[in-house]
Every structure is written in C-alpha cells, then in structure tokens.
Structure 1
C-alpha cells in the first residue's frame, strides 16, 4: 500500500506540526509527505527531511510547497511552479507508473488561471497514464461544501468546475469530516469549507481503483491533513452471470431459451423454477461466447481490420476489396451497437437518449460506481477500525455470527391475543390464493426492465421477455 500525506500545515515548525507528521508517518506507513505553506526558509529543508526520517526532499520555486519521499518510491519531478508540483511516481508494491500533481492554489480567483491552464495541459498529455491531482484548491465545487457565513455564490466556482470537466477528472470522495478548512473564529462567525480534495482521470480508476482519501483531524492547523492510500489488491474474483438485454435481439436467442427451459426438472414448482434459471444462465453463458466472444475485443479487432482494408482499397480499388470492406464495416457497426447496449445497461443511464454514444464516458461511470463499492475499512462495535481484506472479512463474519447465533428464547404469545383481528377469513383466503396469469403479467410488466439484476443474474427485462413466451 502507498500512503501519502498532503497537509496545508500553516507552518511546519509550529504547534507540534512536525511531531504530528512523525506520528502519522509511523501509524500509516507514509511514503510521501507534501507540506503546503511550511512558513520556513528552504535552507531548512534538509533539516526537516532528517527530522521526518525521509530520504528525499524538494521545494517549489517560491518555497510554499515542500515534498518529501522515501526510497521505496521513485519520484521524478516533471514540473514545478508556484501552485503545483507534478511528479512521475513508481512504487514497489504497485507496478503502475502514475502521475501526481500536488496542488496549492492561490486564494484569489484571477491568480489561479495559470494553474488551470497547466491542469488542462497535463490532462491532454496524461490521457493514457494514471493521473491524480491532490491538494488545496482554495475553491469549492458545490454550495454543500460550505457551512456558515454568507450564502456562497456558485459563480465563483464555474471556472473550476469547467476545468474539472474539461480534464475529465473525478472526485475520489473521502471518509472522515466533511470539511477540510475552518476559519477557527467564534461560534457565530465560524465558516467551514471543503477546499482540499483529490481528483483522478479515468485511467487512474481503471488501473488503481482501490484508492481512498481520509480527512484526518485538523490538529495544529486550520486545514485537515489528507491521507491518500493506494492499495494493491489481487484482481482475481468470481465473475457472476448477468443477463444482457442485447441478447434478445439475436435470432437464435428465443430458440436457445425455449430448448433449455422446456427440458423437464423434477421437484416442487419453486425448486423446478430455480433449477431452470440456474441451467438457463449456464446455457446463455456458453451461447454468448459462441455467438459473440469478447465483444470489447471484437470492436477493436474489426476497427483494425477496417483500417487495413481501407488502406488496401486505396492501393487496389477492386470490387472484391470494396465488398470485403463493406462486410467488415457491417460487422464493426453491429459489435459497436452491442458494446453501446452493454455499457448503457451496466451504467444504468435510463435517461440517456437513444443513438448517443460515448463508450469512454460509460466506462468511467462504471469504474466510478465499482470504486465506491469497495470496502476499504470498517468500524467494529468497539470503535476499532479494521483494514485489509482478510481482517474485514473476518470481522464481518464474526459480526453476523453473533447476530444469528444468539441465545434461544421462548416467545410469550399471550400478548398477541390482545391484537385485534382486522382481516376476516374470506380476505385471508384471497391472500393465500394462487395468483392468476393476468395478475402475474401485471406485476412482471410493471417491473423496470433496466433494474439491477438479482442474485440469479436476471433482470426485469429478462422476466418480461420470458413471460412473453407464454
């Protein structure tokens, strides 16, 4: 795991800041420390490097940004100015080269313009490289990120929001206190804001989705230190069956489902239904591999084949080459539509207009949702935080085992006699009666066809199509 501390400390040698950094370094096994506004002469940089037991240190041009790192990290400075330091970073535990831009933005809006220009520049250069921007941006993105004081004028943030969108950056979110800065004035004059944050590009979410930010207590400064943790986890996981809506458009789908479903299964109706669904999921998985293969790989393959045939057609314009190109283009378009359908279903964008397509945007949404589902740490009943997949799994098992294996107690049913009977026998018989086919159809067709699949992998669209056969 790579741990990084980013802190606008308002003076590295005041109010026990250096001691706290030492403690944080030991507790979280920090490899990189970024100190904003050290309020100390750069001649003292090496002294503080030794005090923090770090191996390397640099300062930016105006001395308002100090960066320290250990030898387990290879850090190459790509660019540094008054508001940002950009580094190329490698770590022994995470075999991915990434770019980090540490930010200390100016307080005045017009002075931040050069910083936004540099972010736009790096966004263009790092499209295929994991890139993270983290630090004190001195501006918020939403009125909810401020508490106290006058009502915030969101127009002050429009330029920053525009830069975030143009750079394709996504907020990593956080755990801990909501706000990272306070003016530390009296109760009636106190203001809180979230000025410090971490944002990453799509490639970062793809290669390092197990990244999280924690807002640590703001002891010794008006800013919270940010703890950034990147955990290297095994990507080996079980791939569960998920029904794809695009399957129903294929000519052989109906026949495949009917043949599988009509094979008899012995047992009571619910057992039979469960077994048929289980068998059908296996059948559809095999059928999909034979019918399509890897759809994402096919799109790239047909795109490359189309490019080769176009070049060949330019050099040798024959009827055979034109026919071959038309055939490849038709297959290319077919697989692009399949990919678009799958991405829309996975990203669950019900409002997205038919015909619009942006696969990169869809992939980013999917990765962002998956990242939010990761459990980085949990809090036990004794207020102890637990990290690590094995420890989290054990704590979860212990918790539910305690709940589900409690002491056997006999329930006294006497108080139940005091509850009045509001349902008569006739109403009760109607409730217990088997539903008619019309009632079943009404319920099934009222389902959202794009609803998330259940444990069996089937969504509302599948059941609507299945019911249509009867």
Structure 2
C-alpha cells in the first residue's frame, strides 16, 4: 500500500496540486502512506523532531498561525507494532500546542468506515486508537468527498473499501481553525486517496445582523447609549419598535468597536502588569501606597475582564447547565467552537444523488428543495366536517382569548425565556429586553 515517489509523474502531481494546495510546492515532496506532503519553504518552515518507520513528527511554523506540531502517519498493519505508534504520538503531542495528525493509520474505529469483506469488530486495534484519541484529546475533523480512502481493487464480492486515511486535531487546533476541511481527492497512482487539509477554509456569512452581546451589559456606558438611542423615535407604531432596535444595536456595536478593548489582549496585559507590581512589592524597592492602590485596581479589573470573557463564551456555547460565574474553562471554549463547526455545511447531496461542495451550489440545492416543498397548492374549502356545538369553546374562553395583552403578561412571558434566546432575526436576545 506504500506509494513510491517514482510512480507519480509530474503531470499527476500538478493535477493534484491544482487550486487546493495553496501553501505546497512540488520540489519538496515527502510520502507518508496515502498522504502527499509538500511544504513550500518560502511560506512555512518544518523542523523534524522524530522520524520512524510509522511516523514523522515535527514543528511547522506558519507566519499567520504560529507554531504547530504536525505528525504524518503510516501505521503498521500489525496491531502490536501500532501500539508503539500511539506511544510515540503521546510523547510528542502535548495539549498546550495546536497539533494535527494525518496519514494512513491502517486502522478503522467504527463499522461506518468499512464496506465489504469481514464484519467490523471493535478489537484491540480500534480500541487502542480510540483510547489514544480520548487520552490525548484528538478529534476527527471530518471530510468532504468520497467516503472511503482505500480500496483493494479486487472484483465482485472480494472488493473492500475502508477509510484508513484521516486527519485528527486536538482542541487547541480546532479552536484556531474551526472551519478547516479535509478533502478526499480521487485515486490515481495509488490504492489510496490523497487527503488535503485546508487550514484556511473561508466561510462567508451573508447576514449582516448585529447580535446583542451580553458583555455589553457590564459596561456602565452601555445604559446611557441605549437610553439616548431609544428615546428618539415617534410616528407609526407598527415600525417604531424595529427602528428603535436597529438604531440601538448599531450604536452599541460601534461604541464597542471604538471604545472597548479586546478582552483577551486586555487579560494578558493586566496579568503582566499585576505580576510586575507583585514582584516590585516582594522586593520592597520604591514601593509606595500608590503602587498598592494600583495593584488592587489591576486585580479588580482583571476579575471583571475574566467575568466578561466567561459571559462571552457562555453566550456562544449555549449550554443550559452552565451557571453564571462558572469558571471560564477550555470546556466551554470547545462547546462554542463545536457549535460553530457543526453549523457549517461543507457539502450536500441533492435529489438525484449528486454531491455539491461549493457555496453557490449548496444554496441552489436548498432553494430548489424548499421551493418544491412549499410551492402553492390548490385545495378545496367546501365540504369540511361539521363542528358540533359541544366541541365549540365557551363564551368565557372566547372572552379570555380575545382580551388585550396586559403589561404584566408580557413581562412574565419575557422573563421566563432564556437570556440567550432571540425571538426574531434582528439579533436582539431576551437578555436585552430584561436589561
């Protein structure tokens, strides 16, 4: 199953590169199982840490993304030898560095990864691979393209397909590249599909709605902005509320953009300043009462910033069991990133079983499907069943249902809702109304 470099000619490599391999280049080529690795030394640098018969591990320096730990795998077919692979990976792939593993693992972890041949069993090999992924915090990125990456190229009932090649990433890497996509290309000179991980996959959001941020409530200035923006309109009551909301959200958005600092950058700056003041206090050199006041002020500001960061992540994670004031931990960062990743549609299959992965094609498939589903239909309005008098609602119920809404009923309805829920598409959550 190993692909030799001599078996791939220049035209085939150029065809594979195409527009997909934006930061790869032909002269620097390495082969690892079914994955073709081409680093452009002018754009990135790769430093090898360890190289064995099953894996090449090194640091990849990308100017726009920093340092990454990369491992290209060609796993042994022997389960016992693959155990050494998991030990090597656990040794070098630590949790605090964004890491990616890609290549031919020669192992599948569920029955959906195989078609044909013997029935899949969750034996020692799959258990060890699954255990490594759980212990080292690695996750399957998913893929676009054909389902299986390897075929034994036999005929009839002896033909077997398996997904032996894949890309795994840890939580830090997924947070940095939440919209990354692994593409399975066509098989040409090998029985494996080349796999391409696009770290710079772009997602275009056409909606320009401004979403109300819960963190805005913690700034005293936001109340004044809402007050002045809200008390300007007069006129038609049918549209006055929408005008108020739009103007208020825009005022809050541009105030936050121009006046509020980046919370993550502010957190790191405050931590550095607090550390310097504490070191100065420990040395006792030129320490004054003003320094003590400044230290207490910085600590208070850091606590406020951490609380705002927790609120920001909580709004995106949308976990109902997260209580206000819980620790702003990596767990909720992963929840928020996972939600954003799940909400992205990379490919879709239409009614004729054709697969599309371009944004315009996906939009066209959705429009066509729901256009047919909700098209105008003629229906008969006569000869409906007769409703007997006993089935009609009472006069008392009619009076209650026909009565105008009271302010108390509206207030109870609003305050019973979750603060991060939005009743419409205008981006205004119930948190705004409650405030």
The two structures have a TM-score, normalised by structure 1, of: 0.68
Aligned residue number for residue 82 of structure 1: 53
> Using the alignment, how far apart are the partners of 2:166 and 2:17 within structure 1?
19
1:86-135 CA distance string (max 9 Å, x none): 3556799x8877553211223444423332233234323x945x532111
Aligned residue number for residue 29 of structure 1: 18
Q: 1:455 aligns with which of 412, 425, 430?
A: 425
Aligned residue number for residue 277 of structure 2: 309
For residue 278 of structure 1, give the secondary structure of its aligned residue in structure 2: helix
For residue 133 of structure 1, give the secondary structure of its aligned residue in structure 2: strand
> Using the alignment, how far apart are the partners of 1:101 and 1:56 within structure 2?
17
Are the equivalent residues in 2 in contact too, given 1:175–1:215 (CA < 8 A)? Answer: yes
For residue 418 of structure 1, give the secondary structure of its aligned residue in structure 2: coil
Unaligned ranges ≥5, structure 1: 1-8, 33-52
Aligned residue number for residue 44 of structure 1: none
Q: 1:332 aligns with which of 289, 302, 312?
A: 302
Q: 2:318 aligns with which of 348, 354, 369?
A: 348
Q: Does 1:278 align with 2:262?
A: no
Offset of residue 341 of structure 1? 1.5
Q: 1:219-368 residue pairs with structure 2 within 5 A? A: 224-231=193-200, 233=202, 240-248=209-217, 257-258=226-227, 260-269=229-238, 271-285=239-253, 288=256, 292-316=260-284, 317-352=287-322, 356-368=326-338
> Using the alignment, how far apart are the partners of 2:154 and 2:413 within structure 1?
58
1:245-283 CA distance string (max 9 Å, x none): 3444556655654554344431133x1111111122134
Offset of residue 335 of structure 1? 0.8
> Using the alignment, how far apart are the partners of 1:394 and 1:139 within structure 2?
34
Aligned residue number for residue 176 of structure 1: 145
Offset of residue 201 of structure 1? 3.8
Q: 2:383 aligns with which of 397, 402, 418?
A: 418
1:388-425 CA distance string (max 9 Å, x none): 6xxx3488479859998xxx99x766x22234475979
> Using the alignment, how far apart are the partners of 1:146 and 1:65 within structure 2?
17
> Using the alignment, how far apart are the partners of 1:402 and 1:139 within structure 2?
38
CA shift in 2, pair 1:261/1:424, >3 Å = farther
Are the equivalent residues in 1 in contact too, given 2:138–2:171 (CA < 8 A)? Answer: yes
> Using the alignment, how far apart are the partners of 1:200 and 1:173 within structure 2?
10
Offset of residue 339 of structure 1? 0.7
Offset of residue 370 of structure 1? 3.3
For residue 144 of structure 2, give the secondary structure of its aligned residue in structure 1: coil
> Using the alignment, how far apart are the partners of 1:306 and 1:75 within structure 2?
36
Unaligned ranges ≥5, structure 2: none
CA shift in 2, pair 1:453/1:306, >3 Å = farther
Offset of residue 214 of structure 1? 2.8
> Using the alignment, how far apart are the partners of 1:319 and 1:95 within structure 2?
43
